[in-house]
Amino acid sequence: MNQNSKVKLNEIFTSIKAEAETRLKDISGDNSQNIFIGMATCGRASGAVEVKATFEEALIERKINAHIIPVGCLGHCYGEPLVIIDKPGFPPILYQNVTPGKARLLVKAYLEEGDPVFEHVLGAMEENDMIPAVMEFPRFNQEKRVVMANCGLINPEDIYQYIAKGGYSALVKALALEPEKIINEIQESGLRGRGGAGFLTGMKWQVVQDSEEKDKIVICNADEGDPGAYMDRTILESNPHQVIEGMAITAYAVGANRAIVYVRAEYPLAVEMIKKAIGQAKEIKLSGEGILGTNFNLDIAVFQGSGAFVCGEETALIQSIQGKRGMPQLRPPYPAQRGLWGKPTVINNVKTLASLPPIFENGAKWFRGIGTDKSPGTAIFSVVGNIVHAGLVEIPMGVTLRALIFDICGGIPNGKKFKAVQIGGPSGGCLPDDFLDTPIDFDSLNQAGAMMGSGGMVVMDEDACMIDVARYFLDFTQKESCGKCTFCRIGTKHLLDILDRITKGEGREGDIELLEDLSMDIKNGSLCGLGKTAPNPVLTTVKYFRDEYEAHIREKRCPAMMCRTLTAYFIDLDKCARGCDACVGSCPTEAIFTTKNRKKGIDQTLCVKCGECMVSCPPEYDAVRKVSPPELAPKIERPKEE
Amino acid sequence: MVKLIVDNKEIETEDEVTVLQACLDNKIYIPNLCYLKEMDNPPGSCRLCFVEIKGYNQPITSCTVKVKEGMEVRTNTEHVRRLQRTAFEFLLSVHHVDCKNCPANKKCELQRIAKFLHFGLKLKKLEQLEREEGVEQDHPFMEYVSNRCVLCGKCVFVCQKKNGKAMLSFAKRGLDTVISFFGEEDKAKTTCKECYACVEICPVAALIRK
Ligand SMILES: Cc1cc2nc3c(=O)[nH]c(=O)nc-3n(C[C@H](O)[C@H](O)[C@H](O)COP(=O)(O)O)c2cc1C
């Protein structure tokens, strides 16, 4: 690009930026009060829509002037709905679990009368000497927000809010560079794809850039089919412009003029947000024809997938856009060589693309300073399961599992013990406590038998039965197999059936070895990544929890007492209170009877092992026991009806 | 022409063919179900034609590798046989074995592979998987017997090739995957009656004339 066009480019962007700053002043001028409400899917699911309506009503009723700004998701799911109130004279304050009732209270007590209502405060968003800042909590200060830096803080429906925070200036920087320079920068940054495999982004781009073909395509992979993973959705809902900016940088670098966001139709809000954002970007010439006065054109479209897990696999995704059944194809040719409609195609994950603007803003060296040597940058996990502070966490690569689970996310609730963590989505592995000091990066997780995958993380406490866990994930992958190749279509079903019979107490000698053999063959024999990784939950649980398999098979005992066929409930007659009927009504099958001395017994032939009696037994008696194997339950005869 | 070494024997073959094709042309049998010579992009879905090739650290499907001068191929290593036997047993575990009453008897590809692998037609380590029984009668001229089908996809390929567009396709997912005739067409009006390419290509008589 010549000097002239560089000047022009900067001029155009300077005026856009000025507009953004003027608009920002309008809403956050000296005396304005702002209420930021988390309105991403997670917030809405916990009632943010009603909370917003209540705030609106209450402001009108009390004749208070304040802006309500819908924002995306902060990642702190445990605290949803989350609201930040920014009032002059106070630091911005974050409130958690805001209900319509709390909303009315906050308007009256805080906005009208100046009392911040401390009992509902999670923390202040800035250091101050009035209210403890959230930055003092590990859940905030041990995170490193790069991709999610603005999530939950800006209105995703307003491009100017992103620009006011520095958005799109990385694109301006990139457009002033030769495409080769951009690819060099990305190669230097060491960025690896966040879609699971950790492939070097710069290397992929190079192949596409080198291609002679004129027409090239960029695809943003937002299929996100892993159960329990929702970071890509959150990013699209909370800050879609960072993804668009990343796509524009990618397209410019590889020489593409077409880009497609592939997002599942089950993400209606994400679809709406990204579509709106694309429209806004086009309006002010940040996409479309002649971006920022240059001769670079980029047309961005949205394609809605119908939500098959396998369509996240890049070759299946391409088939799906071409109107075919989403079945993975053999590679090579890789999409970078021959992709959508036969054109060289860059496919990158949402997080990979959203990492680009910060890299260009701050430089490859800065990015390398975060994370580890081989896995620079941050990782985003959705930490769910038996965990105190569930939600999305963005951490520098290299943080240990222990630090993530116990320090950042607050550990296991209810005083229970940690048992295992399942990492990498349905085809990740289950790791026991010996592995808690494993650093979180692509290579260490692979070595341990798990994987980064999409960043799903399920934490399990002592009550989890590992065979049941493996069964759960195999049930998912088996159903989601596209049916094309023999190993995945049929092999995963055999694994599932064997696990199923083990949990039912029908396991046989040799089942463990059979599971191992079949798993290895399915890994080695399958066509695509789905089949190649589907046995991971089996292999890791067999490896790290073999004694549990043996207990199920040999002793017909479930150590975690989760497998229904292998457990029984009984009532400890020494503890049961004569005349108490608390459990009787709770039993859905009328399995509980009264003994001769007016205590209670359970008819094992009727019991469905739902555990309701255990819940309803008053804590002062605590008389219901659960045992495995079921023969351990003492036989208590039901008195003959008179 | 290209020379390569297969199981310590030198063979000669045309350029640009797959290792599988080269072997078959030279009378070296490698079990396969989903491959046809005319395919530009073989689907690689049956996962039977594994071989070991020097330079690759794992068995690889021979339908997906093109021959190269001097290539060293082994078709009968322990690892290759293990994968083939497992794949075959998987296929068998969803196949309704009733050779006596099957039109494919004696020309069935599964029988041929069983013989080649010295496997027999009985399951060794696995149990038969239960699938919905049933014969699809939707089509006026053909029947589809799902629990014979090995889902090789050759029928879809030949239909596409002969008629310009395939009137058959894969449907459903996972173990329930089947071949299905397109619903929206008026099947009576199709040219199927003059064609039957799919029936002829089917290696296991899952598609048969009515
Ligand atoms: C079964 C399967 C499912 C996948 N699902 C996704 C997905 O939902 N999102 C994604 O970005 N990548 C997914 N991938 C990985 C993609 O094939 C591809 O590697 C990725 O989109 C490349 O982007 P990256 O280089 O930015 O990681 C999946 C892979 C497999 C085998």
Q: Could you tell me the CATH number of the domain that includes residue A627?
A: 3.30.70.20
Helix-then-strand count for chain B, H and E: 6, 10
**Ligand 1 atom at minimal distance to the Cα of residue A224:** 8
Q: How many CB atoms are closer than 10 A to CB B126?
A: 19
The helix/strand/coil state of B32 is coil
pLDDT tens by residue, A383-408: 999 999 999 999 999 999 999 999 99
- Between the CA of A45 and the centroid of ligand 1 the distance, in Å, is 27
Could you tell me if A412 and A539 lie in one domain?
Answer: no
* Nearest-CA residue for atom 1 of ligand 1: A530
Task: Provide the token pair at A364.
Answer: 């490859």
pLDDT (mean) for B7-19: 96
Could you tell me if A53 and A137 lie in one domain?
Answer: yes
Q: B166, B133 in Cβ contact below 8 A?
A: no
- Between the CA of B151 and the centroid of ligand 1 the distance, in Å, is 26
Q: Do A483 and B151 touch (CB under 8 A)?
A: yes
pLDDT tens by residue, B161-185: 998 888 899 999 999 999 998 755 6
pLDDT (mean) for A24-52: 90
CATH number (domain holding residue A530)? 1.20.1440.230
Could you tell me if A25 and A99 lie in one domain?
Answer: yes
Could you tell me if A256 and A319 lie in one domain?
Answer: yes
End of a domain among A508, A525, A554? A554
Radius of gyration of chain A (CA): 28
Question: How many Å apart are CA A177 and CA A342, to the nearest integer?
Answer: 28
Burial class of residue A104, CB neighbours in 10 A (0-12, 13-18, 19+): middle
Could you tell me if A72 and A14 lie in one domain?
Answer: yes
pLDDT tens by residue, A265-322: 999 999 999 999 999 999 999 999 999 999 999 999 999 998 899 999 999 999 999 9
A511-525 vs A546-554: helix crossing angle, rounded to 10: 130
pLDDT at res. A642 = 56
pLDDT (mean) for A243-266: 98
CA angle A279, A280, A286 (to 5 degrees): 100
Q: Residue A121 domain-assigned?
A: yes
* Nearest-CA residue for atom 23 of ligand 1: A348
**H-helix or E-strand containing B135?**
strand B135-136
Q: B69, B21 in Cβ contact below 8 A?
A: no
Q: Residue A561 domain-assigned?
A: no
Could you tell me if A448 and A476 lie in one domain?
Answer: no
Nearest residue to B84 (alpha-carbon basis) of B54, B60, B56: B60
Q: List CB contacts (< 8 A) between A517 and chain B.
A: 86, 125
Q: What is the pTM of this model?
A: 0.93
Q: Which residue of A has its CA nearest to B66?
A: A332
Task: Provide the token pair at B161.
Answer: 């090739």
* Nearest-CA residue for atom 2 of ligand 1: A313
pLDDT at res. B185 = 60
Nearest residue to B102 (alpha-carbon basis) of B39, B147, B65: B147
Report the b/e string of A548-578 with b at 16+ CB within 10 A.
bbebbbeebbbbbbbbbebbbbbbeeeebee
Q: A364, A189 in Cβ contact below 8 A?
A: yes
pLDDT (mean) for A510-519: 98
pLDDT tens by residue, A130-185: 999 999 999 999 999 999 999 999 999 999 999 999 999 999 999 999 999 999 99
Could you tell me if A305 and A402 lie in one domain?
Answer: no
> What are residue B13's DSSP bridge partners?
B2
Please tell me the total count of domains within chain A: 5
pLDDT (mean) for A77-104: 96
**H-helix or E-strand containing A95?**
strand A93-95
The per-residue pLDDT of chain A, averaged, comes to: 95
Question: How many Å apart are CA A428 and CA B190, to the nearest integer?
Answer: 47
pLDDT (mean) for B135-150: 90
Could you tell me if A404 and A338 lie in one domain?
Answer: no
Instruction: Name all domains of chain B by residue range, CATH numbers in brackets.
Output: 1-129 (3.10.20.740), 135-209 (3.30.70.20)
- Between the CA of A347 and the centroid of ligand 1 the distance, in Å, is 9
* Top-confidence residue, A547 or A28: A547
Nearest residue to A9 (alpha-carbon basis) of A171, A164, A160: A171
Question: How many Å apart are CA A191 and CA A205, to the nearest integer?
Answer: 12
Q: Residue A562 domain-assigned?
A: no
Could you tell me if A21 and A156 lie in one domain?
Answer: yes
Could you tell me if A27 and A150 lie in one domain?
Answer: yes
> What are residue B144's DSSP bridge partners?
B136, B207
For residue B174, give the nearest of A325, A327, A489 by CB distance: A489
Could you tell me if A580 and A480 lie in one domain?
Answer: no
End of a domain among A554, A581, A616? A554
End of a domain among A530, A554, A578? A554
Question: How many Å apart are CA B204 and CA B153, to the nearest integer?
Answer: 12
Could you tell me if A215 and A193 lie in one domain?
Answer: yes
Q: Which domain holds residue A622?
A: 567-632
Nearest residue to A468 (alpha-carbon basis) of A435, A413, A422, A523: A422
